[in-house]
Amino acid sequence: MAQGVGLEIIRDKKAFICDMDGVIYHGNKLLDGVKQFIDWLQANGKEYLFLTNSSERSPMELQQKLARLGVTIDKKHFYTSALATAIFLQSQKPNGSAYVLGEAGLINAMYEVGYTMNDVNPDYVVVGESRTYNLDTLTHAVNLVTRGASLIGTNPDLTGPIEKGIMPATGALIAPIALATGVTPYFVGKPNPLMMRNALKRLGCKREETVIIGDRMDTDILSGIEAEIDTVLVLTGVSTVDTVRQFAYQPSLILDGVKDIPALT
């Protein structure tokens, strides 16, 4: 299935920004046609960046995950909300400190820009996907924000796709802190235009030359629209044709999955 304004938005583009969860894989399952799609990108000399709102893995870990799934890609082709968050915080307060609720990908990104971990009087409380999130860490984060730490979320996603359904994501995990403190968090990941500008810089391409491919209307497609980048929605993740109709904005093109892209050209 292909629905939208025209297939030229695929054929004529120089660069591709592609989401991962729900587009490339579900959990540890590679989706149909992904290898063929990546072969097509490389064979046609396309610039490409796999961009994910997930903050738990580093680019090296994402590279290794795809390698285990049978796809070999250089780590330079991966960009995460953890990296975007670290870059943003370093630009706001160089060499600051943070209390982090998150995994290694986020913590390492913070260290790499000169941040230190601080659970006493940090400049920021930073929340990403976390497998160690519990009432104790939640309570500590609430009290740090109450005492003046700024509240940052790596992304606003409420859920993320897994092999057998969905799991709570950063937007859901940060909500109790926001509710308990009355503080509105600032989210760095999609659909924040900051992340898209960083992605374009890494690609070395203009927005007119680029297309973004994703499975979420509220992050992937919205971020493309707000950054004036053409958008392709794939139906291998959280969105369906019915959910698309609930939004005031629409993607440029709707496909069943990235497996359809090589056939379009």
- What is the spatial distance between Cα 133 and Cα 130, in angstroms, rounded to a whole number? 6
Cα–Cα distance list, 107 to 54, 99, 102, 133, 214 (Å): 13, 10, 7, 14, 26
Measure the CA–CA gap between 30 and 143, rounded to whole angstroms.
Answer: 41
**Are 126 and 148 found together in one domain?**
yes
If pLDDT is split at 50, 70 and 90, which confidence band does 4 have? low
* Chosen domain end from 160, 187, 214: 187
Query: Does residue 180 sit within a domain?
Result: yes
Domain boundary among 166, 187, 208: 187
How far is residue 264 CA from its own chain's centroid?
26
Note the pLDDT tens digit of each residue in 16-37. 999 998 899 988 889 999 999 9
Condensed to tens digits (0 to 9), the pLDDT of residues 184-197 reads 999 999 999 999 99
How many structural domains is the chain composed of?
2
The pTM of the full predicted model, rounded to 2 decimals, is 0.89
Q: Is the pLDDT of residue 97 over 90?
A: yes
The verdict on 175 and 200 lying in the same domain is no
User: CA-CA distances (angstroms) from residue 124 to 83, 85, 128, 150?
Assistant: 16, 11, 13, 5
Tell me, yes or no, whether 87 and 183 share the same domain.
Answer: yes
* Positive or negative: CA dihedral 90, 93, 95, 100: negative
Residue 61: inside a domain: no
User: Domain check: are 252 and 218 in the same one?
Assistant: yes
Q: Would you name the residues annotated as active-site residues?
A: 19, 21
In a domain, 59, yes or no: no
Q: Would you state the pLDDT for residue 178?
A: 98
Domain that holds residue 166: 83-187
What ranges in the chain are assigned the alpha helix state H?
A: 8-11, 34-43, 59-68, 81-92, 104-112, 135-146, 170-181, 193-203, 222-226, 241-244, 261-264
Q: Is pLDDT of 167 > 90?
A: no
Residues 198, 123 share a domain? no
